[in-house]
Structure 1
Amino acid sequence: MKRLFDTIANIFKIEELRDRILLTLGLILVYRLGSFVVLPGVDPIVLEEASEGATGLAALLNIFAGGAFSRASVFALGIMPYISASIIMQLLGIAVPAVQKMQKEGESGRRKINQYTRFLTIAITAGQAPGYLATQVPDAAVVDPGFMSFTLPSIVILTAGTLFVMWLGEKITDRGIGNGISLIIMIGIIAGLPTAFLFEFDKQMGDGGGGLVIILIEVLILLVVILLTVLLVQGVRRVPVNFARKVAGGQQQAQGARQYIPLKVNASGVMPIIFAQALMMIPITLVNFSQSEELAGWASLFNDISGFWYNFIFAVMIILFTYFYTAITINPQQMADDLKKNNGFIPGVRPGQDTSNFLDNVLSRITLPGAIFLAFIAILPAFAINAGVSNNFALFFGGTSLLIMVGVVLDTLQQIESYLLMRHYDGLMKSGKLKGRASAFGMAG
């Protein structure tokens, strides 16, 4: 315990780290306060009565938005439209040569892509806002439900709210402790955890519940799932690498060294989950603009998070996105070229194209089980719901919520630990580093 307090004290001794943490906390506070600001013209009491017992995708989106979705807050649509825009831009980067060219232009190209992503976010939010108002805000909760008096101003406010949340995330990434978008999603998720657990506790301790024993079993299973999730996020396949001795002017300049390339089992992190979840919203958004009962029945498949087809499609999309995101973030050819330039080689493998093929094969073999395991954890809430766990608590029982929380917490701890180690302070773990997060040769990031 003393070591923990010493580490916390060391964190606040580093001025830059302290300022970044305080800025991050301040921006998160602004986000949480904004999630309680209700749209003008909405009666929050009537809205609360109408939204009680929300299930399905609406409940999941409400968790991601930290409760803002059900409160008809100015941040009701949260960061998900920005995620959808990012998905579209990455897909365009594969199919559209102009976008590919921007991706290769370095910092200037990145700024252009970010600007186009923001414009696309505005379009997506403006498209989702009418559907949200039509399905989640009943006329009984609106003082004056006219188009000019309520609908149009609310669309503008919801769009501005999403852009503001996006801005907060970018500021946390640039001037805070990083991972701004993911951190905002995680904060929204954690905000609903205490309430969900208390609801489950009351349910099990009440009439017809399983009592304290069932609560303890659920918590134990949840801890096991958390452990498995940490193993998935931390797991790496270490590819050994040798570096030849450098000799200049007849003198040996550097000793040969043996290091490794850490290829993560889940190199894509939480992004496949976020991507898949964002795309699952598209059919419902489109149906909101149609009056067809046939389309409404088809879209209902995407709203039943405990149903077979929802989870089957969700799992398949996660596996596909895991491969897709791994392919666009890790380039075996670039890794092989970097190794060759630094006089490095994998024992038993020729430098150049053979090294690239070897790394690609290893990456393919470890990505498949990682993707399947990722999909399995993502659909665990469906099993929990069908086993009798309350809907709100089941969403934390593995699934998207837990994966995002574990991934973001570990990445944030890694950011903090890097500052500590650079200043020669002890890290957050006894070994001095988070296992599997740091490496001697970080080419696979």
Structure 2
Amino acid sequence: MLGALANAWRVPDLRQKLLFTAMMIALYRLGAFVPLPGVSEQARESGLQNTNAVTGLFSAFTGGAFNSLSVFALGIMPYITAAIVMQLMTVAIPKLQELSREGETGQQKITQYTRYFTLALAFIQSIAMTLYLSSGAGGVAALAGAGPVDYFLVIVTLTTGVMLTMWLGELISQHGLGNGISLIITAAIISQAPRAIQSLIEGGNVTVIIILGILLLLVVTAIVFVNEGQRRIPITYAKKQVGRRMSQGGTTYLPMKVNMAGVIPIIFASSLMLFPVILGQMAGGGTDSLLGRVAAFFEPGSIPYLIPFAALIIMFTYFYTAVQFNPVEHADNLKKQGGYIPGIRPGEPTALYLNGVLTRLTLFGAIFLAAVATLPYAITGTLNLPPGLFIGGTSILIVVGVSLDFLRQLESQLMMRNYEGFLKKR
């Protein structure tokens, strides 16, 4: 691996892309330390004190920018939500389907719609966070004594921070290496790891540290195994006449990944399960109110929370996989190209076969995602760890998945230039 990195550094084009990517990530991390205008001096020094499920989730995906009340406090989450919703709407709305089939021009229009949707979501979330800070729910009156102008300035700053983060991510994707949005999220998650490690070391419990290290190694190994796992369906192409030439046909395979949905089902399920908690906190009144009792019942880590959480992950995994892979469409394409699966008739039988294979693969991938998402809660409760100390399964899944994708892109760049890459071919 070190040799491959040295090869990449010796290539001027790759070195420029790596440096540009590092510079954009550094700018994003710098913004995480710039405080919001108008907040009190006490809030700037101490940040949010009362951590809970909602603030812990935002803090993890923003690299601590949420708790420190910085200009990037909302991170990139509005853009992710907008992108996922637009992807689902592309399947459901015929006009967007037509745009997606128009190639690069249609994709640019969809990307523009996603940006507008991101702006709207960022503005709404900025208003919600401003109300949250003004209420003193974070343990400190961050906007004590602030007026309408101060509120407006905070809302505009938070919205601008989201759009600037989105712009940095797009610049990385265009001029750097890897998916910019994914790399920004990964950098934010990794930035919280040293603080968690320091807290464990200061606790002085060597046994807990060893157990967590072993569990982390096992989880990472399992994530790599499942993310890289695929079922290869053999495809045979018959000989056919192309002009005056006879094509020889041949045999290839159709790769079907075990985890086609990635981490998106967990993000969807987390958003839905945190919705009662958010409503309860915004309504106030503690556990005396109806919303407060509902929020307490669905407290993250409790049995009433984990069971529907796992069920939603499994449901969304099937739903999003169906959006990503259409067996009927693949069967039709194979039939048009003269390809067939050995022992399976072309057309509808091929579609039924692919659907059966996809259903079995998705079941395993869905159960795996549910286990990875719920495991941190069980570990936190068993080892009596403070909430948010152990990096969640969702965070590990994102970091490992993005790292593998980054290495694959760097691998392909090296192979194009006749350099030995990271992965050894057998």
SS at match of 1:60: helix
Could you tell me which of 239, 246, 254 is aligned with 1:261?
Answer: 254
Could you tell me which of 391, 401, 407 is aligned with 1:395?
Answer: 391
Range 374-383 or range 213-222, more displaced: 213-222
Is the aligned partner of 1:18 residue 2:15? yes
Change in 2 beyond 3 A, CA 1:70/1:20: same
Structure 2 equivalent of residue 152 of structure 1: 152
Is the aligned partner of 1:297 residue 2:290? no
On the 8 A contact 1:232/1:374 being kept in 2, the answer is no
Whole-Å Cα distance in 2 between the matches of residues 88 and 190 of structure 1? Answer: 26
Change in 2 beyond 3 A, CA 1:158/1:279: farther
Structure 2 equivalent of residue 166 of structure 1: 166
Structure 1 equivalent of residue 232 of structure 2: 238
**Unpaired stretches in structure 1, ≥5 consecutive residues:** 206-210, 433-445
The AA in structure 2 aligned to 1:424 is N
Structure 1 equivalent of residue 125 of structure 2: 128
Change in 2 beyond 3 A, CA 1:79/1:281: farther
Could you tell me which of 367, 370, 374 is aligned with 2:369?
Answer: 374
Q: CA deviation at 1:106?
A: 3.2
Range 232-241 or range 124-133, more displaced: 124-133
Q: CA deviation at 1:245?
A: 3.8
Q: Which aligned pairs between 1:263-412 and structure 2 lie closer than 5 A?
A: 263-284=256-277, 290=283, 293-301=289-297, 304-387=299-382, 388-396=384-392, 399-412=393-406
On the 8 A contact 1:128/1:285 being kept in 2, the answer is no
Is the aligned partner of 1:102 residue 2:95? no
Whole-Å Cα distance in 1 between the matches of residues 240 and 165 of structure 2? Answer: 51
Whole-Å Cα distance in 2 between the matches of residues 178 and 116 of structure 1? Answer: 23
Structure 1 equivalent of residue 90 of structure 2: 93
The AA in structure 1 aligned to 2:254 is I
Structure 2 equivalent of residue 435 of structure 1: none
Structure 2 equivalent of residue 439 of structure 1: none
What's the TM-score, normalizing by structure 2? 0.89
Aligned length: 419
On the 8 A contact 2:76/2:181 being kept in 1, the answer is yes
The AA in structure 2 aligned to 1:200 is L
On the 8 A contact 2:47/2:67 being kept in 1, the answer is no
Whole-Å Cα distance in 2 between the matches of residues 98 and 338 of structure 1? Answer: 23
Change in 2 beyond 3 A, CA 1:65/1:251: closer
Range 143-152 or range 260-269, more displaced: 143-152
SS at match of 2:389: helix
On the 8 A contact 2:133/2:142 being kept in 1, the answer is no
What's the TM-score, normalizing by structure 1? 0.86
Aligned-residue Cα RMSD (Å) equals 2.5
On the 8 A contact 2:261/2:320 being kept in 1, the answer is yes
Structure 2 equivalent of residue 441 of structure 1: none
Range 132-141 or range 345-354, more displaced: 132-141
The AA in structure 2 aligned to 1:270 is V
Q: Provide runs of 4+ in structure 1 moved above 6 Å.
A: 248-251
The AA in structure 2 aligned to 1:310 is Y
Whole-Å Cα distance in 2 between the matches of residues 158 and 341 of structure 1? Answer: 51
Whole-Å Cα distance in 1 between the matches of residues 87 and 276 of structure 2? Answer: 20
On the 8 A contact 2:193/2:391 being kept in 1, the answer is no
Q: CA deviation at 1:263?
A: 0.4
On the 8 A contact 2:39/2:143 being kept in 1, the answer is yes
On the 8 A contact 2:38/2:154 being kept in 1, the answer is no
Q: CA deviation at 1:312?
A: 2.5
Change in 2 beyond 3 A, CA 1:188/1:250: closer
Structure 2 equivalent of residue 72 of structure 1: 69
Change in 2 beyond 3 A, CA 1:74/1:173: same
SS at match of 2:233: strand
Change in 2 beyond 3 A, CA 1:404/1:177: same
Deviations 1:293-349 (A, max 9, x none): 3224324455x3322233233222222221122111222233223333443221111
